[in-house]
Amino acid sequence: MQVTVEYTAQIKSIAGLAREVIKLDGPCTVADIARQVASARGEDLAGILLDENGQPRPSILVFRGEDQVRWDDTSTVVSDGDTITLLSPVSGG
């Protein structure tokens, strides 16, 4: 199974790319994908995506296709061909 992971804003800068296709061994949640890309891309990205317990940071927004999903929603299983977008909130004035 393959999914496309898109990185935006600060996450894109740290990951060093805007998107990548990753292969998955089987069904997984968006939290599983965050852990996988954090592990593959190194400590800097892991520090942005995951807390000290290896859990996704609630401040990072995640979308499956056009729909925002919650990190703790274990009922949302990623499907082959899905696009997962990771977005760090941006604010300013």
Grouping H, G, I as helix, E, B as strand and the rest as coil, residue 24 is: coil
What confidence tens digit (pLDDT) does each residue in 16-28 have? 999 999 999 888 9
Cβ-based neighbour number of residue 29 at 10 Å:
20
Mean pLDDT, residues 6-16: 94
Q: Where along the chain do its domains lie? A: 2-87
User: Which CATH number among 3.30.9.10, 3.40.50.2000, 3.10.20.30, 1.10.1760.20 corresponds to the domain 2-87?
Assistant: 3.10.20.30
**What global pTM score does this model have?**
0.90
H-only helix segments in 1-93: 9-15, 30-41, 43-49
Give 92's pLDDT tier (boundaries 50, 70, 90).
low
Contacts of 88 (CB under 8 A, 6+ apart): 8, 9, 10, 11, 48, 59, 60, 61
Residue 5 to residue 28: CA distance in whole angstroms: 14
What confidence tens digit (pLDDT) does each residue in 36-78 have? 999 999 999 999 999 999 999 999 999 999 999 999 888 889 9
